[in-house]
A and B are shown apart, each in its own frame.
Chain A
Amino acid sequence: SQPLAGGQAAELQSKVVPSKQIIHSDNMEMEPETMETKSVTDYFSKLHMGSLVYSCTSKRKNK
């Protein structure tokens, strides 16, 4: 008897939707994403500190 807005709504009206589905929840709460992390100190310690430690120890050994 009463028209509903738009074709989709009319389609919805025609099938029997249980009343509990009125709040078909779109407010689902997702868990956060995990991002991969890099740090300049990771590479710095490996490259620069590594060679620094090496040069120091080799100097010591030389002494």
Chain B
Amino acid sequence: RCRMEASCLELALEGERLCKAGDCRAGVSFFEAAVQVGTEDLRTLSAIYSQLGNAYFYLHEYAKALEYHHHDLTLARTIGDLLGEAKASGNLGNTLKVLGNFEEAIVCCQRHLDISRELNDKVGEARALYNLGNVYHSKGKNVANAGTHDPGELPDDVKNALQKAAKYYEENLSIVTELGDRAAQGRAFGNLGNTHYLLGNFRSAVLAHEQRLLIAKEFGDRSAERRAYSNLGNAYIFLGEFETAAEYYKRTLQLARQLMDRAVEAQACYSLGNTYTLLQDYEKAIDYHLKHLVIAQELHDKIGEGRACWSLGNAYTALGNHDQAIHFAGRHLEISREVGDRSGELTARLNLSDLQMVLGLSYSTNNSMMAESQAVENSLNGGRPRGRRYSMENMELMKLTPEKVPNWN
């Protein structure tokens, strides 16, 4: 019996070592072997289940994570380990949140909070508050994504969830500030900023992300620094301060290149392309959208490629470069068909027919009645080609699609 005990423990210790070293996949094999061997020590088994759950969580295998955190919770309750039960509840809550089961997630995270308070465990209490904030944030965002709402004009249930999230983050902040835990403050400021952003409180969002940035710099945490720049850029867009937004997106781009994260680099280029479109500097917009296109092709991201082509079509149309505009609108149509994006396909068709009409008219002779009426219309519209206005309106379809593209979010 002693040999078996040692063996289970040895396997689990190796699993722990591997997970700490960042090799969760190998760690899982050792933990599962340890479970196979088995142990009569239920606390050891609980620790193994918990670590298996976390390893599967980091591997994005959430159904497995759920299974093991649930085993851990049952076991912790069986042996009357209250701290263990709090921890298992918190982990189960986080997993349920990712799986979109917000109501159960709230119950679990609340249990984590209640036990932490009962045990007068301030660190646990703060962590539970942060988790609760995250669940309400996800819940609010999830409901908001189901509709097509702009920040500031949210339905009541979304607003309630986001306001609760803000409340929990603020409660968390007051505890972790008291505890002097700067890393935890950084996380809370980041997510509080994003909650204010969704609520349409863009000035508050900026203040929170500025704090997040400060703490990221203190720690030399360049990933967190990059996140803060990107979030600041987003908030400044909504404040109508496009130049400032462009500066922050440029810093995001710089860091993404340093960190050699191609997907994030592409996202930064895309944001910059859109920002320069808002600044009506279409040449710069094209420059960044082309950079985005190259990376999207490199990463075999068809949806990103389609978005790039569509943006490029619009920018070239704005510049009156109809040949290039038709080229990219055509590519957008091809890609939309390929990925089965029906609304993209329709948008591309409309853009193409507009462009073909503008081109056809410019090639036809001046004595054509249609050309004359078109010329009159163009002069009334300040000489802008007809296709452009419609294309810019179609840009609003953008916000209906990104949630289908998880790798870009």
Contacts and interface: CB of A to CB of B under 8 A. Distances in A.
Contact of A29 (B230, B274, B400): B230
A39 to B, nearest CB: 6
Interface of B: 9, 12-13, 16, 41, 43-44, 46-48, 50-51, 54, 57, 72, 84, 86-88, 90-91, 94, 112, 127, 130-131, 134, 137, 145, 148, 150-151, 186-188, 190-191, 194, 197-198, 224, 226-228, 230-231, 234, 237-238, 240, 242, 267, 271, 274-275, 277-278, 342-343, 346-347, 350, 390, 392-400, 402-403, 408-409
B127 A34 contact: yes
Contacts of B13: 40-41
Contact of A22 (B57, B137, B274): B274
B186 A31 contact: yes
Interface residues of A, number: 37
Given A37-B50, A44-B44, A22 B395 contact: yes
A19 interface: yes
Contacts of A44: 9, 44
B91 A27 contact: no
A13 interface: yes
B41 A47 contact: yes
A36 B409 contact: no
B274 A43 contact: no
A19 B278 contact: yes
Contacts of A27: 230, 234, 267, 271, 402, 408-409
B88 to A, nearest CB: 8
B396 A21 contact: yes
Contacts of A13: 393, 396
Given A4-B397, A36-B90, A40-B13, A31 B227 contact: yes
Interface in A1-38: 2, 4-6, 8-9, 11-13, 17, 19-38
**A interface majority secondary structure:** loop
B44 A26 contact: no
Contacts of A24: 150-151, 398-399
The 7 closest A-B pairs by CB, nearest first: A36-B87, A5-B343, A29-B227, A26-B402, A43-B43, A38-B47, A38-B50
A30 B94 contact: no
Given A13-B396, A27-B271, A20 B238 contact: yes
Contacts of B51: 37-39
Given A40-B48, A43-B44, A43-B47, A23 B274 contact: yes
17 contacts: A2-B390, A12-B396, A20-B242, A20-B278, A22-B398, A22-B399, A24-B150, A26-B409, A27-B408, A27-B409, A29-B194, A33-B57, A36-B50, A36-B87, A36-B88, A36-B91, A43-B46
B342 A19 contact: no
Contacts of B88: 36
A35 B51 CA distance: 10
